[in-house]
Structure 1
Amino acid sequence: MIIILKLQTDIEGKKACFGQMRDHLQGLGYVLGGGWDYDRGNFDSILWREGGETIYLRIPFLVYKGMLDEYNTLVEFQTPYIIKHVVNTGLDRDEGALLSATGLSQFQEPLDTDGYIRDKNKWEEIGQQAVQQVIQNIVHV
């Protein structure tokens, strides 16, 4: 089980041009999450990282006009959330070790499968502030 902290923000339901948002958010440290499809995706940002622990902000969206690989695709933002991932940073002797060591494997087994987030109020506040920064840069369509 992974702990997810859903955030209460004003981004849900807002619409934007995918390409403009992607370009702008890259400058703020966001990436298009690896699990995207032509009708949905996520903008992900690292809020904190230490050792094998990482806390992410994920801002999901749905495509409502176009396909995700096109610049002018229109997207609608969904409820953002905070998620924590803990990976084993020790020596890995299996066949996926090279991929994991180079960061190419997104499927490494986490050390803490519960992904417990300490000080939830702190991370909710940090996440809400980060989402507010994204909202301020949405060019409405």
Structure 2
Amino acid sequence: MRFENTGIENQTAPLTRLDELMESLGFVRAGQWDYERVTYDRKFEIKNDVFYLRVQGYAIEGDVGAHRAVIKLLKPLLGKHYYPHGVEYGDGEHFPSSLVSQCEAILAKVKEGLANIQNA
């Protein structure tokens, strides 16, 4: 599921500030990066299902590996994990409405945090 009109897509932020913001909201970047891209995931476990809210971005300046990059964000995704195949983000997936609402609230906090970074 792709979240539309969240206000974070196409926003930019320095990587170090973005890492701090995303970590404060429960996202993990871990090893999910290369020198040009980053992926932040937040895991949700509901009953026996696992879901991931994913925010991706790419460097428009600098190098992610050197921690000196400016990241431009893409549209956030919500996916469901299927063992052992991985996470599916397709339109045919069913997501609990409470989870979608929770993700929208988290993304609103990301937007607010990005505004604070840009106004600092």
Q: CA deviation at 1:29?
A: 1.5
Match of 1:126 in 2: 102
Aligned ranges for residues 59-70 of structure 1 at < 5 Å?
Answer: 59-70=55-66
Q: CA deviation at 1:125?
A: 2.5
> Structure 1: how far apart are the matches of 2:71 and 2:27?
16
Contact between 1:19 and 1:70, CA under 8 Å: does it hold in 2?
no
CA RMSD of aligned residues (A): 2.7
- Which structure carries more strand by proportion? 2
- Please list the CA deviations of residues 18-65 of structure 1 after superposition, one character each: whole Å capped at 9, or x if unmatched: 11111232222111154421111111111x214652111100101000
**Percent sequence identity over matched residues?**
19
TM-score (norm 1): 0.68
Does residue 56 in structure 1 map to residue 52 in structure 2?
A: yes
- Which structure carries more helix by proportion? 2
SS in 2 for 1:137: helix
Contact between 1:40 and 1:63, CA under 8 Å: does it hold in 2?
yes
The counterpart of 1:38, out of the listed 17, 22, 35, is: 35
State the aligned residue count. Answer: 114
Runs of 4+ in 1 over 2 A off after TM superposition: 50-53, 110-119, 121-126
Contact between 2:79 and 2:87, CA under 8 Å: does it hold in 1?
no
Q: Where do 5+ consecutive residues of structure 2 fail to align?
A: none
